[in-house]
Amino acid sequence: MPTDSAQALRHLPWEIGVPKPDATIVVDDLVRSFGGLTAVAVEHLEIQRGCITGLIGPNGAGKTTMFNLLTGFDQPNTGRWSFDGRSLGRLKPHQVARLGVVRTFQLTKALSRLSVLENMKLGAQQQRGERFLNALLPGWKSQERDIEARAMELLDRFKLDAKAQDFAGTLSGGQRKLLEMARALMSQPKVVMLDEPMAGVNPALTQSLLEHVKNLREEGMTVVFVEHDMDVVRDISDWVVVMAAGRVIAEGPPESISQNKDVVDAYLGAHHDAPLTVEEEELVLAEAEVAIAAEKAGDADLPTETTRGL
Ligand SMILES: Nc1ncnc2c1ncn2[C@@H]1O[C@H](COP(=O)(O)OP(=O)(O)OP(=O)(O)O)[C@@H](O)[C@H]1O
Ligand SMILES: [Mg+2]
């Protein structure tokens, strides 16, 4: 059932940069280059509150880079972007999360050798910018009960409650995606950015993931999600933004997109996704072990930077 907020989009012209009646995220002149390559160059983009906005485009279009910029995981060369009128420029990911904007990652970031519940707690800690792995250490009691209760409630909702004590590594690809979404909700966000939440998920779980995404909208959250499957995009998006070579090349309701020649020309469709590699996971776990050992030794000045982007 379209919300009022989604209905309000029906009357807008299908124009790049069109102002939204109730914009929550506003982007202006955002540019991010890597050497000679312009990964993102967006002049003006507004995201309607309480809606599901699909962000699509061929591989390398700049979708993930845009998410990185909007959520503080990367900084642009130039540009401004705001959330509910407040500039998010130069904020760190946990500061952006605390204001209410969170994201999930294209490559699953669940740590295999931690339990599902521990992964949830870790998510809450990182979003609040607290010390890495505090959540798992003995003696960290202050908000533990609240956080654990919220984690269990979310795991229940995502049908992962029976797996709470299992290693995340025993979950299927789809269950890991669910875990990642559940973890993003630990901080009760207002805007959720999902980077390919369906990638690698088997068809049996796709429907349930889609329902979860729709439920976020029903609860009043703003959802921006990257997806390559056009059937999925058509099914759940209230509005679609198309990127190619760093730019927004079209935006409009889902039905406007498939008839847009620029989109058809730019959109290549083919896509490859990969899970966290064994080497990447070993590196993260090794850092975690060092962090725990140092914490136990009472080293108060341990940097947390190495875990950023986990
Ligand atoms: N850290 C980086 N260093 C150098 N180049 C980068 C970096 N991150 C992204 N790029 C480049 O920027 C461009 C945009 O990449 P990005 O990952 O944002 O695309 P995408 O739209 O998410 O693609 P996909 O659909 O494959 O996930 C690509 O050409 C990519 O190679
Ligand atoms: Mg990407």
Residues with CB under 6 A from ligand 1: 34, 37, 39, 57, 59-65, 106, 271
In this structure, is residue 13 part of a structural domain? yes
In this structure, is residue 152 part of a structural domain? no
User: Could you tell me the strand order of the sheet in which 78-83 lies?
Assistant: 37-48, 23-34, 78-83, 86-87
Q: Give the residue, by CA position, lying nearest to ligand 1 atom 17.
A: 64
Q: What is the pLDDT along the chain (310 residues), one digit of tens a residue?
A: 567 888 889 889 999 999 999 999 999 999 999 999 999 999 999 999 999 999 999 999 999 999 999 999 999 999 999 999 999 998 998 899 889 999 988 776 777 888 999 889 887 765 555 555 555 555 555 567 788 899 999 999 999 999 999 999 999 888 888 999 999 998 889 999 999 988 878 888 888 889 999 999 999 999 999 998 888 999 999 999 999 999 999 999 999 988 788 888 876 443 434 455 677 677 777 777 777 777 667 644 444 434 433 4
Position in ligand 1 atom list of the atom nearest CA 246:
14
Domain residues for 37? 1-110+188-276
Determine the pLDDT at residue 125. Answer: 62
The CATH number for 47's domain is 3.40.50.300
Best residue among 37, 73, 224, 267 to mutate for probing ligand 1, ranked by most atoms within 8 Å of CB? 37
Compute the distance from residue 63 Cα to the ligand 2 centre, in Å.
5
Determine the pLDDT at residue 81. Answer: 97
Q: Give the residue, by CA position, lying nearest to ligand 1 atom 31.
A: 60
Ligand nearest to the CA of 37: 1
In this structure, is residue 237 part of a structural domain? yes
Return d(Cα 6, Cα 248) in angstroms, integer: 21
In this structure, is residue 118 part of a structural domain? no
Position in ligand 1 atom list of the atom nearest CA 32:
12
* Residue in 26, 24, 188, 23 with CA at minimum distance from that of residue 102: 188
Ligand nearest to the CA of 273: 1
Position in ligand 1 atom list of the atom nearest CA 74:
1
Compute the distance from residue 38 Cα to the ligand 1 centre, in Å.
10
Q: How many domains does the chain have?
A: 1
* Residue in 10, 4, 55, 51 with CA at minimum distance from that of residue 232: 55
Compute the distance from residue 122 Cα to the ligand 1 centre, in Å.
27
Ligand nearest to the CA of 68: 1
**Can you state the percent helix, strand and coil of the chain, rounding each to 5?**
40, 20, 40
Compute the distance from residue 2 Cα to the ligand 1 centre, in Å.
33
Determine the pLDDT at residue 106. Answer: 77
In this structure, is residue 78 part of a structural domain? yes
Determine the pLDDT at residue 123. Answer: 75
**C-alpha pair distances (Å), 114 with each of 151, 165, 288:** 15, 9, 11
Return d(Cα 193, Cα 195) in angstroms, integer: 6
| C-alpha Rg value of the chain to the nearest Å | 19
Determine the pLDDT at residue 132. Answer: 53
Confidence (pTM): 0.82
Complete DSSP assignment for 39-60: EEEEEEEEEETTSEEEEE-STT
* Residue in 161, 149, 154 with CA at minimum distance from that of residue 215: 154
Two tokens at 110? 């669940």
In this structure, is residue 82 part of a structural domain? yes
**C-alpha pair distances (Å), 67 with each of 11, 193, 231, 260:** 27, 7, 22, 24
In this structure, is residue 99 part of a structural domain? yes
In this structure, is residue 43 part of a structural domain? yes
